[in-house]
Structure 1
Amino acid sequence: MNTTPPWTTTPLTADLLRGALDLERTAHGLLPHRLPGWARAQYADGQLAMAESQPAGVRLVFRTAATAVELDTLPTKRVYVGAPPRPGGVYDLVVDGQLAAQGSVPGGSTLTIDMTDGTAEHHQGRPGTVRFTGLPGRDKLVELWLPHNETTELIALRTDAPVEPVPAGDRRVWLHHGSSISHGSDAASPTTTWPALAASLGGVDLVNLGLGGSALLDPFTARTMRDTPADLISVKIGINIVNADLMRLRAFGPAVHGFLDTIRDGHPDTPLLVVSPVLCPIHEDTPGPSAPDFSTVSEGQLRFKATGDPAERAFGKLTLNVIRDELSSLVRQRAADDPNLHHLDGRDLYGEQDFAELPLPDGLHPDAAAHRRIGERFAATAFAPDGPFTASHDGAGTAA
């Protein structure tokens, strides 16, 4: 007896996707982007190109009575020369708001990155399939979250019952921008990055513009945020500025003002939360740039170190403490005329006591447990009855 289900193939279209700002048709299928095409045309940075194409916060959303779901994709997996192998990207299947299953796609293409000279080589691979079975046969809301740290071309969606797109509901949209920590760094899965977890706890829809290594106050990122519909906005600023040794104090303040001015051009009254860096001991008082420390690779671990000179703070070099002071002062100044602008000290999300309990494994990035703690604390602060993102918030102040 043939028990193969009658598969239905549903075209992959924009009305099935949340969290992507652009969709590119490729030779294989559909590639979600988190920066629009015009913005991607304004830089030639391979790190940013990789980061924005990794679908942090991007998910397929649909209603169906299907008991089986298959998604064909072509993932691009990263390989770092001299570093331990990275785990495969994780797909989270959420049914009616609850995590129901997880899976991965084997194989795929590879991007081999040499951090010693900044080069990268792409090797084309074959598509694969992630499969989920045994789902309840009733009508249900399905969210299939794509790996937050693995570029993913979508090829085909198959189910054993028809699929219906879900129109935008009455949940508020939260637009967030930050560094690799906001992108998801070493979170366990796409729904447990701290922004995804905070969005779930806060009952909002997430658009995640966390861009690993690339929260650099780029004007095209500010214009993207200006043009993206949102009910709530946050920007987490600082660590990448120090990592890259990108600018001095003289340039930093005006750059932040310009970034916020651009966002306000499109969102003049939207609650806007400025978040300073979480604790990172190597850069609290030591400037960048950051550099990989390969001395522990033989032990299966890659760490990072600060290579700047603390004495150079006198000449305007930036550290995390310098940036926190500047952001606090800047937001306080602007909030006098902008009652919907707020500030949160990142150490309230992850500080010295947290580092003692949950140290940063590589010196820069929180682990899965720390991501959960940061997400829970952000939600408890931002979505509190008197927090900046409460539905009834109508005044100025800070969240810290």
Structure 2
Amino acid sequence: MSSETVLGLGGTVDYEIDWDSAVLEHLAVEYGVTVSELTTRHPIASERDLVVSVLAFLQTGSGGERFVASSGIVETFAARFTSRVTLGGTGVRAALAMEVLGVTSTLHLVSIDDHVRRLLPPGSGYISSAADDSTDPHLIIQFPVGARVRVGGAVLAASHANRLIYSNDPPNQTLYLSAELPAALRQATLFLVSGFNSMQDAAALDERLGELRAAMACLPDGATVFYEDSGFHRPEFTARVLAALLDTIDVYSMNEDELENHLGRTVDLLDPSAVHAALVDIGTLIPARHLVVHTKYWSVVMGGDAGSASDTAPASDAASGAASDAAGYREALRGGILMASTRYRFGDGFTLADYEGMAGERQNPAGVAVAAALRELLPGAVCIPGFQLDDPSPTTIGLGDSFVGGFIAALRRGRAV
């Protein structure tokens, strides 16, 4: 099946567990975990390491993605909880979100099994590099705001609802490309690139990047390439991907966790000065044509000149050009926020009516304040506040992927460039 939209590069089978503080408390006691050893950076070679990692993320209220030494660790941990099987991967979740709006796509997959065949969006097609069926599940954990786990004499409480991903997935680690990809790209007006974050071998990564560039040469003139960042299992690989692909990317997108990972510091998302500094710094670090940062409070798109207007031309001319460049994606940005917010509130089963109704929700006052400040601090950027969503049991899994789907669907439906 050919489509104007090709979404790559890999999909996953996910085990989504229901949060249960009692299970985590029991495991902390069983393994003798102490608060002093909690870290999100230690390698995960056992179930005990996994427990330490989950509790460390809970302590900070942050989300993330980490590599585990074997799928067996995922299987053992997931079996302790109530869970369900879903599909993941940025491209797949984006496709599921887009199909609610009647926008279909062609997916590029690197693994396939009966779960995938059963759960893929029915209106979209796929190509795959997999020679045989295989299942290497990703563990997906979401914790609600205020989730509490006692560890020794301390009580850890989540300051924010968030999600965690743990995996050992050989097909996504090698990320072989389908021989059908060049032909699919010849028909595409939009190509989503994601998934390099799971790769483990530098030589294989370089080889795959070269193959992808060759395939992308088949894209028609004027096609849009959208790159969604993610938590690299080997952070040092980020630079290799940027060096190989940045000149081919039209829109480079990331969430707040990835922003902080790139900058190597935490960012107060409600402090306009801190946000401004972070956006200027990320624009210098990743000088993309258009840079998108999507967060729970606000989302922003910057044109290529947005972070350095004063260095390239008189301020008024440069800012005007950058603002015009970024403004072309304003409605796509709004579409991404709507889609992610709808999934946050309604989960997997949201409808077109849910999506359309979300547009009438009240904007987050704190996000409104940041957006207003950025109009003065960073005039070459377009910043849109998120919604005031206080749902007691939100869905935190796949929000970034849904943002991507909403952004791309808005482009496809003629709302933007």
TM-score of Structure 1 vs Structure 2, range by shorter chain = 0.3 to 0.5
Richer in strand (by share)? 1
Could you state the TM-score of these two structures normalised by the residue count of structure 2? 0.34
Richer in helix (by share)? 2
